[in-house]
Copies of this chain bind each other. A is one copy, B any other.
Amino acid sequence: MAGNLDITLSNRLRKSPYYEATLRSGAKSFTIYNHMLMPVVYEGSDEDYWNLINNVTLWDVAAERQVEITGNDAYRFVEYITPRDLSSLQIGQGKYALITDENGGVVNDPIILRLGENHFWLSIADNDVLLWTRGLACGLGWDVQIDEPDVSPLAIQGPNSLPLMVDLFGDWVKELKYFFFKETELDGIPLIVQRSGWSKQGGFELYLRDGAQGERLWDMVMEAGKKYDIKPGSPNNIERIESGLFSWGNDMDLNTNALELPLEKFCQLDKSAEYLSRDALHKIRSKGVARKVVGLIIDGKAFDGGCASTWKVSSNNKTCGKVTSAAYSPRLKKNISIATIDKGFNAIGSTVNVDSPWGSRLATVTNIPFN
């Protein structure tokens, strides 16, 4: 039910600089993300979850590829692709943003890092933002260069990530504010260190800038982490649903418009900079959205796995939505999920039916995050 399959390797399925190290560290199961293998299970989804919640874990997230944007029009271009107001984005700071198309549809939801006045990285979710941005820039004829640099993030996540990072880099990491970053090195390995990561347990990401040093970096962090009982880990489906971290391809796609997500604080529709989706999003705002991405708490026995394909949501036998991510939370002792639900059925507290692989269940619409 959890849903696992055998996958045949090929050169097309890219290997991260940490790939061999993750195999040595006991990676049991993978996903494909941005054409790259990414480990998602070590001891087990639950064991990995508790390691993250209670301690500290090291993640190969090299599959979060970087799209580098430089050139005289780079700042103008980055403003153009998102409804988020980036006018206050400082050099050395990152911001989460929705990349939106001409219809207001969500192309991707990266962290945008500003490395210079006209130098940005998009640290992306699972699709070819490189192609979207290059195509758009080509058509516009603006002065930007867009490439995928040799950059491979490694995440250190969990409550003990801070003392471990202090051991590795020194006291200055304590002062790093959320989403801020610094260019540095570790024993000659060129890095950007950011306070960030795809969990809400606290942590950092090390953006490795030399793929040849991946295994060395992994081993150095593992060695330094021994005193904190560090474990290999990965973006954890249970924790990220609890924390309300949406996943592109699971909880949203190009057909999801930005206003269907409960992410209003990241959309400044009236920002002064020019942006592609302005007209579409203004129209959607006046008209109201036809559906919303919400949380659902689902009754009954603990789920024995995640959402391998969408589950139908209904009310009085009428389809009114779909569950797109789900897990049993061992901490909340509840089945929690993310769902897209139609207008009229998505008010907080509403009750709906969910066709799960473990039978039909009652469910209650709730706010996200769950904790």
* Chain B residue contacts of A134, Cβ below 8 A: 101-102, 132, 135
Decide yes or no whether A35 CB sits under 8 A from chain B: yes
Could you say which of A121-129, A151-159, A197-205, A209-217 contacts chain B?
A: A121-129
A32 touches B11 (CB 8 A): no
Say how many copies of this protein the assembly contains. 2
The CA-CA distance from A126 to B107 in the complex, in Å, is: 17
Give the contact stretch, choosing among A23-31, A109-117, A173-181, A348-356.
A23-31
Given contacts A29-B6, A30-B6, contact A250 B132 (CB under 8 A): no
Q: Does A170 count as interface, using CB distance less than 8 angstroms? A: no
The distance in angstroms between the C-alpha atoms of A34 and B271, with both chains bound, is 35
Whether B3 and A9, one on each chain, are in contact in the complex, defined by CB atoms closer than 8 angstroms, is yes
Report the separation of the CA atoms of residues A248 and B10 in the bound assembly, to the nearest whole angstrom. Answer: 12
Contact residues, A18-59 vs B (CB, 8 A) = 28-32, 35, 37, 40-41
One of A137-145, A259-267, A293-301 at the interface: A137-145
What string of 1s and 0s marks CB contacts (under 8 Å) between A298-318 and chain B? 000000001111100000000
Known: A132-B128, A135-B136. A8 touches B29 (CB 8 A): yes
Contact of A8 among B30, B35, B254 (CB under 8 A): B30
- A139 neighbours in B (Cβ, 8 Å): 135-141
CB contacts under 8 Å to B, within A221-250, are: 237, 247-250
Cα-based distance from A130 to B309 in the complex (angstroms): 22
CB contacts under 8 Å to B, within A56-77, are none
A4 near B: Cβ within 8 Å?
yes
- Residues on B with beta carbons closer than 8 Å to the beta carbon of A289: none
CB of A131 within 8 A of chain B? yes
A278 to chain B, nearest CB (A): 13
Chain B residues lying within 8 Å of A7, measured Cβ to Cβ, are 4-7, 29-32
Q: Which A residues are closer than 8 A to B by beta carbons?
A: 2-13, 15, 28-32, 35, 37, 40-41, 101-102, 107, 126-141, 237, 247-250, 254, 276, 306-310, 324-325
Closest 4 A/B residue pairs (Cβ): A139-B139, A135-B135, A3-B9, A12-B249
